[in-house]
Structure 1
Amino acid sequence: MWAISGLWRWRRNPLRRATDLAEAWVALGTLLLIAVAAPVVGSLVGTGAQNALQRSVQAQQQSRHAVTATVLHKLDDARPEPDPESGTGDSPRSRVLAEWTAPDGARQHGPVMADLISPRRGDHFSLWTDAHGRVVARPLDSATAATHAVLAGLGAALLTAGLVEAGRRMVVWRMVRRRYARWDQAWDRAGPDWGKAGTGS
């Protein structure tokens, strides 16, 4: 982190300028803000995300039901494809025409994805549906929700640290610009007499 490099300007040095000391104070303020604000923001965002995601987990687990479906036949144009929910691609799925009984007792049928490599008529597989038997995605589990919340908190903390560091760089950039402007003014004043004999006498 570049904020740490600004602290060296506190060392005793006869050539140290007031702006060097100001940059050191800016660097210290940046470090303190990053040390305090980033963890606080990350914790707040992570906690908020955890609460929201766990409520979503409970709602999904109450509204989604695992039912057993029966393969009627494999669809002709279907090729096995990776399961997008597994994330690894190790669990191929096939598109089949299946039937199942909804939690409310209604009989349903239609094309669905089955976690079967070579589905045959009469094969059984699990399917997630809502209360009326409509196919839905697998409900979010608590562990996955907690992982997402932790990642959200870490992301917020890193973003906060980055914004604070960007603010420090902007302040230092403006200080350097003002310093260069003062140097240019000093050179302009000294320029007409520079190198002439008797200058300053």
Structure 2
Amino acid sequence: MTGPPFPHPGRRREDPITLWRLRRNPLRRTSDLLQAWLGLGLLLAVLAAAPAAAYLVGDAAHHHYTHTAERHERTRHHTTAVLVHDAPRHPEPGSAEEKKTRYPVEVRFTDPGGRTHHATTDVPPGLRAGSTVHVWADPHGQVTGPPLTPDQVRSRTMGWAILAALSVIALGSAAYGAVTLALRHRNLTAWGRAWAGTAPRWTTRR
């Protein structure tokens, strides 16, 4: 048995546990030293890998969304659509909720090639048939959203970069947790074997 699983009596409360495991003391076990070095190695690996992952994933995301925005600019068009049916009326006319509410209604519009299309889009309550609304449409005559803006490209790129960095940190934490559990199980097993050999000598007959 290499020693009990509790810190050195002289250890200060504010000392990080990893530093205690690296410091020489009579109660330090081999597993303590191993855990400390593995923790330090994982920390350095995460500090190096997280920025790299954020840059690589962010760069790939930026290229993807930039190309997507350019494709949308080429293929989508902004046009005027005419309501085919009346839009439902809101149950609370004039309310703040009415201003935010949109109802799906069938509309008719013409594409740049002169072909007429019917689609469904969300419109404010109470619009009458024949009213006009502005919509974005794709080459298939489907109502869609506008092309991505530069701000949206930057926001999505940043989101993927942050997610990549957090994933690296999470993987490092999970690896350290797995190592800690394995070493703890090893120590408890060693404690059990040591106690099995020591307990009979402590037993007294009455």
TM-score range, shorter chain: 0.7 to 0.9
After superposition, residues 71-86 of structure 1 pair within 5 angstroms as 71-75=83-87, 78=88
Q: Indicate how the Cα distance of structure 1 residues 96 and 195 shifts in structure 2: closer, same or farther if over 3 A, else same.
A: closer
Indicate the SS of the match to 1:131: coil
8 Å Cα contact 1:104/1:131 also seen in 2: no
- The corresponding residue for 1:23 is 35
Distance in 1 (CA, whole Å) between partners of 2:57 and 2:161 is 5
Distance in 1 (CA, whole Å) between partners of 2:140 and 2:167 is 43
TM-score after normalising by structure 2: 0.75
- The corresponding residue for 2:133 is 125
Identity of aligned residues (%): 31
After superposition, residues 45-124 of structure 1 pair within 5 angstroms as 45-75=57-87, 78=88, 91-108=100-117, 110=118, 112-124=120-132
1:177 counterpart = 2:185: yes
Q: Indicate how the Cα distance of structure 1 residues 183 and 96 shifts in structure 2: closer, same or farther if over 3 A, else same.
A: closer
- The corresponding residue for 2:161 is 153
Q: Could you list the per-position Cα deviations for residues 18-63 of structure 1 after superposition, in whole angstroms to 9, with x for gaps in the alignment?
A: 2222221122112112211122112211221221121111111211
Indicate the SS of the match to 1:120: coil
- The corresponding residue for 1:167 is 175
Distance in 1 (CA, whole Å) between partners of 2:141 and 2:204 is 96
Name structure 2 gaps, 5 residues minimum.
Answer: 1-15, 91-97
Aligned length: 183
Distance in 1 (CA, whole Å) between partners of 2:112 and 2:35 is 67
Name structure 1 gaps, 5 residues minimum.
Answer: 81-88
Q: Indicate how the Cα distance of structure 1 residues 178 and 123 shifts in structure 2: closer, same or farther if over 3 A, else same.
A: same
The CA RMSD over aligned residues, in Å, is 2.7
- The corresponding residue for 1:188 is 196
TM-score after normalising by structure 1: 0.77
Q: Indicate how the Cα distance of structure 1 residues 5 and 153 shifts in structure 2: closer, same or farther if over 3 A, else same.
A: farther
Distance in 2 (CA, whole Å) between partners of 1:70 and 1:25 is 70
